[in-house]
Each structure stands twice: as C-alpha cells, then as structure tokens.
Chain A
Amino acid sequence: MEAAVLFKGIKKYFSGTKALDWNPEDYIEVFPGEIHGLIGENGAGKSTLFQVLMGIYERTAGEIFLFGEPYNITNAHKAEEAGISIIMQQPNFVYNMTVAENIFMGRDKKFINKAGLIDWKKQNKATEEILKEYKYDHIKPTDILGDLGFEEKKQVEIARALSIKPKVLLVDETSAAISKESVENLYKLLREQRDKGTAVIYISHFIDEINNLCDRISILRDGKLVNKMLVKDTTLNMIINNMVGRDISGTKYRSEDNSSIGDVLLEVKGYTMEGAFTNIDFKVRVGEIVGIAGIGGCGSDAFGRALFGYEKATGGEFIYKGKNDPMDSPRKSVKNGIGYIPKDRDREGLFLIYNTVLNISVANMKKMSKKGIVNHKLERKVAQDAVKQFRIKTPSELTEVSSLSGGNRQKVAIAKWIANDSDLLIVNCPTRGVDVGAKYEIYKIIETLKNKGKSIILISDELPELLGMCDRVYCFRKGLNSGEFYRGIDFTEENVVIKMV
C-alpha cells in the first residue's frame, strides 16, 4: 500500500538549535487507515515535525511525499487544501468572532452570495451540521468563541479540523487538558477517522493512551528519530527507555554532600488554584534543592508563580519561616527574601533595554540607596562583582543585556536574586535556551547557593537536570501531586517518567 505521508531525512535548524536532525536515511511512513503515535520528551521535535508538514516552518533538509507525490507546501492554507488538517496544542482562534466564523475561517468563499456578501445563515447552518456530526451540539454556531470554556474551544478546534474531511489528520497533545469523557469521545472520533481511511498521526505524552489508540509508534529524542515499533510488540519500559535514552550516571551535576539541609523553610498544605493545580502538599527546607517534574500543562508553572504571589492561589495554607502568611504579591515575596526566575526570561525576568547594573540592582534598591537617593557607585560595584563571580560574558556591566547570549542573560537574571541575598529562589527552567557550558556554570551557582543554606525550588521539564540537581523531586500530573522521590533512594528517570505521563 502507498503511504499517505512519508517523511524522509527531515532536518529543521533554527539559529543555534537543531529542532529536527534526522539521518538522511531515516524515514517515517504513515498509511491510510492507521493511527500512528509520535512520542518523545519535550524538545524532541514532535510538534516541529507537524509544523514542517503544515508548511508553517520550512524544512532545512529532507523530503516529504504525500500519496507518493513530492510535497513542498509552505503555508498552512495550502496544506489544508492538500487534505492535511491539524488539531493543535494551542489553537489559533479569533476570540471575538463566532464559532461558525472560526470554523470556516479562510474557507468562507463558498458562502458568498450573489451580492458578494457572506450568507451567514448558510454558514451557521453548515456549522450546526458539523457540530452535530461530532456530537458537539451543545455548542451553537453563533456562540462567541471567547465565551466558551477551554474544553469547548478544544471541541471547536476538533470539529474544524475534521470538517475539512482530511486525508491526513495531525493531532498534537490534545487530551492533556480535557476531561475523561471528552477524551473518550475524541478516541471514538479518531477511530472513526481511521476506519474511514484517514491517516492519523497522534502526539501524546501519555503512554497508556498510545497503547490504547495506536498501531505503530515512532519515537523522537533530541531531534533524532530513534526507533519505530509495533505497539503490540512493545512494553511500557521499552518505550520509556527509548524516549529517555541517555545514560546520565556519568554526568556530574553536584556533590552528594547534604550537610546544608536544615529546618523547613516553606510549607504549603492543600494548595490549590482553580484550573491549574489542586490540593498540593509541598515543603522545602533550608539548604535544600527541591524539584518539580511534569509535562506541559501539569500545573508546575502556575504553582511556582502562585508561591511567588504573581498569581493567586485559591485555597490552602502557606507557611513561610514559621508564619502562616501567604505571599499575595511579588513585592511582599521580595521583601521576605523570595526570588523568582521565570521561564520566559526575556519577557518576565530581564529589562532587555537596560544594562547589567540596572538589571541586577532592581530587586535590591533598598540596599542600593539611602533615603531615596540611589548609590550609583555601589550598584555598579555590585554588578561588576557579579560579572566577575558568575563569569558573565559582556563587554562591560554597562552593556544592554539584550546583546548578551541566552546563558549570560540567565546569569544576570539569577545574579539579581543573589545580590539581594534571597533565602528562597523559585527557578523555572533555568537552562532553557542556554548553551552547554553556561548550563553547568548555572548548576554550579545553584549548588553554591544550596551550600550557603539557601533553598531552591527547581521547576524544569528536563529530567536529567532535576535528578542531577535536586535532593527531592515532586512529580505533578494534571495539576495533582503524583509522586515524591528522594535522592539516593528512588531517583531514576524511569520511576519519575511513569508518574509524569
């Protein structure tokens, strides 16, 4: 049988990173009437592969064949015309337009009447039929998309993708955020599509789902295609080993010295934020590095922001330094010696248009000023010291941080909380977009902080980093605490991954 889609030797390079880097002879074939699973860790290149097929990214190298024909489409609209449709992780909707308008966006030509205007009635009628077909008739064509709940938006996205009558259907991590019934309904729809002869490619982090749904799977790791297998011949362990694949025993992140650990610094009980995380019990001790593992959407990002007071938790106790006194604003957190290093460093962590001096002194202005007058000499000295101590590569402390590399920017972002002597640092993905050399220097900085009796909460989507750095790791799954692991006892990637997915 001829493959519906054939990917061969796909490479996609972004400046500095290789999102996809297959060998020239590597290929994935997806046949009509099959659900093909595509799995791998964060950053393995799964979504990038979809975006290459949709024409959103232009591939750097490699070939794609659609039903045997060379496929070289460079925009999503043409890809849809060729019969490829996608259900995305985060759908692109226009929130102030109706469901009908969103479903037929870009395809509304067929509703144009003689006067050259869109026949709304006809469009709404067609939408109603589509929604009915997929059992989403609780949604009305005239509903404003932005007023719908998250799950309903997802359903509109699914209906839109299926209404194209695709020959190839791409599904990206759709089940992660919706309820069990909706997932079941989605499975049913996908099986129907399969039986109709559609080729379905399905990305998921949940391995049980793959077992349930797919016939064959392909596993990506760090942009490489590492294995292809028949689901009936595999075990969970085989899949995980292929996904993780690395041997981390040889890599040294930190010493095993644990003499720094002292009393509990922060404890939360039953911590809850509606729609993000539920009933989390969590604590961190003086001189301890505590990790939070989990896949996208597991609630760990929101948990970090809530601890810092950037977002508000809706329930639970917050006991910091023995006092039951939740941080309701970043200002209060900073005053009480809590620092926050956000995942989105450039938009939340740094003033890109300013120099290292201003970026480092900002959280420490109390010490850098006297009676409201800024001590320029002192803040410059502190910045110079930080540049030296953390080996920040910059022409001078007066250079704008926008001209520094990712790793050096991150060092500046961390240095600001060290300069103000924070007791607790909440760090989200500190090595994201950071080159390997700087990565290990950042690990070193974190270890030094621990040894000085500072506490660190490390939220990360890189397992080796968590297991390498932390004393304890909590695992989050769909907003719930799904496990806790201890250094030297049960710290293996396999153990943690099972609780994540």
Chain B
Amino acid sequence: MTTTQAIQKKKNISDFFLKNISFTAFIVLFFLFSITCSGKFLTVDNLLTVSCSSVDLLICALGGTFIIMLGSIDLSAGSMISLCGVIAAKVYNATISTTAALAAAVAVGLVFYAIMGMAHTKLQVPTFIVTLGFLSVARATVTMVSSGTITMIPFDSTFKKYLGLKPWLLIIGLIIFVIVWLIERYTLFGRYTRLIGGDETVARLSGINVNRQKMLVFLFAGVLTAIGGIVMAARIGSGSPSVGQGYELNVISAVVLGGTSQRGGIGGVRGTLIGALTLGMLSNGLVLWGMPSEVQLFIKGIVLVFAVYVSLERSQNMVIK
C-alpha cells in the first residue's frame, strides 16, 4: 500500500465516523452507560423509560428537521410545546374529550406557526429572528392563558393512557416517525423541502413556489410541535406554563446530531430518530451517574456545538470535493 492509499484509507475511516456521528455516539454512549451504571441502565424497564421520554422530543424534532432542512431554524419550539400542552390539558379538563383536546392544541400550533411562516415569507424576516421573537410571544401567551398555574391531567384518563404511557406512547411515536419519514422520502412536499434547502435560487429558477413551500413546512412543523407538546403534557401529567424552557436546544441538537446540515438540503428524519434517542439516553445516563441537572445542561450545550462543528465540516466537503 502506498502512502497516498494509506492516507486515503485513513480519510475514509474518519469520513465514515463523521458521516455517522449520531450512530457512533449512540453506540458509544450505550456501551458506556451499560458498563458504568452498575446494571441500572441496561434493563428493559429503563430502556423503555428512555425511549418513552424521548418521544416528545422526537416528534418535535421531526418538524424541526423539515425546518432546518429548508436552511431555516426554529427557536420557538420550547415555548410552543408548553403552550400546546396547556391548551390540550385545559380543553381536556373542560370537555373530557381527547379528540377535542388534540384538535384545540393542533389548531393553536397551526395558527402560531402560520403567523411565523407568514412573517418569514411575506415580510422577509429571517426565521432566526421570527422564531426568537415567538419564543417570547408564545411563552407570554401560555403564561396568560394558564394564569401561571399548572393544569393537571387525571392519571386514569384516556388522554394520559393513550398519549402519555407505554406502550401507546411508543407506538404513537413510532407511527408518526414512519409517516414523516415516508413523507420526506416519497412526496413532492419532502422533495421540494430538500431542494429549497439545497439551493433556494436554483429551486426558484426551476419553477418551484418557494414561499408556498416554506409556508407549508411551517404548518407541518406546527402540527408536529403541537403533538409533541400534547405528548409531553400527557407524559408528565400536566400542562405547565414553565415546561420546555430551553427545549429548543434539545430539538436543534437532535436534528443536527442526526446529521441534518443546518445550512439545509442535507440530512433527514432517520438521523433525527437516532439523534433524539441519543440525547434521551445521554440524559438518562447522566441521571443514573447522579449528575445534577446543571451539569446535564452543560454537557448538552457542548454536544450541540460539537454536532454543528461536525455537520459543518461534512457539508463543506460535499460542496467542495
């Protein structure tokens, strides 16, 4: 083997590592926690807990993947899940109808994301600013709607049973993932999202209605974030105006760790699934290690920066070559 071949081979191995960063991280953490948590990590019960606690993040991050794939960003997700969770809990308590609760929360999600989408496409305000603004608008709204208090969801309700407890919670998460994955892979909606992220100018010059597509992606993300908020409320048993602070960090981390380039156009929801599970596992492992929550937050922040660093490197490689 010549030196150049050796270098090439070394490069291929590191490329593989980088290309599958979330997968690698997943495997490494899995073994790390299995060995170091004195058997508390690797039990069926704990693994189910990890999976269940990742479902709301996964669902939100599926919507986030589409937004990031456009080359945009959503910073409002944390406030939005809180708002949708509170609305769902309140409507459920008022009507005792899971359908009504779902419909109301999804409607609220749609309205807020429609406004954000319009501010972006019609007024041409960058999504970073629009969603940063709505991070605060939605948080203020949920505080007003709830008067700052928690709305409990009865433990024996159908709402809690089907949306907040295993096995239904897991089944719902899986079904939604598969549907979104099929949408991404097989529909025009998924294709256009990817193409616009790949190059907005080329997409426009090829006859794609870029603004309409961006609007649709925002509505799509609105539905998913609403469902994420409902699931989270059901899982923790209440709609709370203070839940989800800093949650956008988790959503963006899951997406980016999953290999979706934050410049848009590259990646997809399969990576996001692994990204969300990896983050869930990381939280769980750190708890089992007895780490306080501020240390968890510290580590999650570092994980995001590292994941972006890796994804930047990779998308540059793909363009330059």
Contact = CB atoms under 8 A, between A and B. Distances in A.
B209 to A, nearest CB: 5
B201 A347 contact: yes
A416 B206 CA distance: 9
Interface stretch (A40-48, A105-113, A129-137, A361-369): A361-369
Interface string B197-211: 011011111111100
A278 interface: no
Contacts of A352: 199, 319
A143 interface: no
Interface stretch (A9-17, A327-335, A491-499): A327-335
Nearest to B199: A351
Contacts of B7: none
Given A353-B319, A372-B187, A374-B187, A331 B207 contact: yes
Contacts of A333: 207
A349 B207 contact: no
Nearest to A338: B207
B321 interface: yes
Interface string A250-262: 0000000000000
A376 B208 CA distance: 18
B186 A374 contact: yes
Interface in A307-355: 308, 310, 330-331, 333-335, 340, 342, 347-354
Contacts of A363: 206-207
B207 A334 contact: yes
A14 B237 CA distance: 67
Contact of B321 (A335, A351, A400): A400
Interface string A367-405: 001001110100000000000000000000000101100
A30 interface: no
B105 interface: no
A347 to B, nearest CB: 7
Contacts of A350: 199, 202
A199 interface: no
Given A365-B191, A400-B318, A400-B321, A351 B198 contact: yes
Contact of B191 (A330, A348, A349, A374): A374
Interface string B292-313: 0000000000000000000000
B123 interface: no
Given A351-B199, A353-B266, A374-B187, A362 B318 contact: no
Give the bracket for the number of chain A residues in contact with chain B: 20 to 34
A374 B319 CA distance: 25
B159 to A, nearest CB: 32
A350 B190 CA distance: 19
A352 B191 CA distance: 16
Contact of A348 (B187, B201, B208, B321): B201
Contacts of A330: 204-207
Interface in B45-87: none
Contacts of B188: 365, 369, 372-374
B319 A310 contact: no
A358 interface: yes
B187 A362 contact: no
A354 B198 contact: yes
A369 B186 CA distance: 9
Interface in B147-202: 186-192, 195, 198-199, 201-202
Contacts of B199: 347, 350-353
B268 to A, nearest CB: 13
B86 to A, nearest CB: 34
A171 to B, nearest CB: 33
A333 B195 CA distance: 19
Nearest to B315: A353
A348 to B, nearest CB: 5
Nearest to A362: B206
Contacts of A340: 205
Contacts of A373: 186-188
A374 B187 CA distance: 5
A308 B206 CA distance: 11
B239 interface: no
Contacts of A349: 202, 205
A105 B203 CA distance: 39
B198 A331 contact: no
Contacts of B195: 351, 354, 358, 362
Instruction: Indicate the member of B198, B203, B266 with the most A CB atoms within 10 Å.
Output: B198
B124 to A, nearest CB: 16
Contacts of A365: 188, 191-192
Contact of B189 (A308, A358, A372, A403): A372
Contacts of B186: 373-374, 376
Nearest to B205: A330
A310 B266 contact: no
Interface string B230-241: 000000000000
B319 A402 contact: yes
A354 B315 CA distance: 12
A353 B204 contact: no
A348 B207 CA distance: 12
B321 A310 contact: no
Nearest to A417: B206
B236 to A, nearest CB: 36
B265 interface: yes
A331 B209 contact: yes
B70 to A, nearest CB: 14
Interface in A394-445: 400, 402-403, 416
Contacts of B315: 353
A400 B266 CA distance: 13
A383 to B, nearest CB: 14
A400 B209 CA distance: 24
Nearest to B191: A374
B321 A403 contact: yes
A353 B198 contact: yes
A373 B187 CA distance: 4
Contacts of A369: 188
A335 B206 CA distance: 10
Q: Among A342, A365, A369, find the residue whose CB has the most chain B CB atoms closer than 10 A.
A: A365
Nearest to B209: A331
A310 B204 CA distance: 9
A471 B100 CA distance: 68
Contacts of B265: 351, 353-354
B202 A348 contact: yes
Given A331-B208, A374-B190, 19 more contacts: A310-B204, A330-B205, A333-B207, A334-B207, A348-B201, A349-B202, A351-B199, A351-B203, A352-B199, A352-B319, A353-B265, A354-B195, A354-B265, A362-B203, A362-B206, A365-B191, A373-B188, A376-B186, A416-B206
Q: Which 7 residue pairs spanning A and B have beta carbons closest together?
A: A334-B207, A362-B206, A351-B198, A363-B206, A331-B207, A372-B188, A351-B199
Interface of A: 308, 310, 330-331, 333-335, 340, 342, 347-354, 358, 362-363, 365, 369, 372-374, 376, 400, 402-403, 416
27 contacts: A330-B207, A331-B204, A333-B207, A335-B207, A342-B205, A347-B199, A347-B202, A348-B202, A348-B205, A351-B198, A351-B203, A351-B265, A352-B199, A354-B265, A358-B191, A362-B195, A362-B202, A362-B203, A365-B191, A372-B187, A372-B188, A373-B186, A373-B188, A374-B190, A400-B321, A402-B319, A403-B321
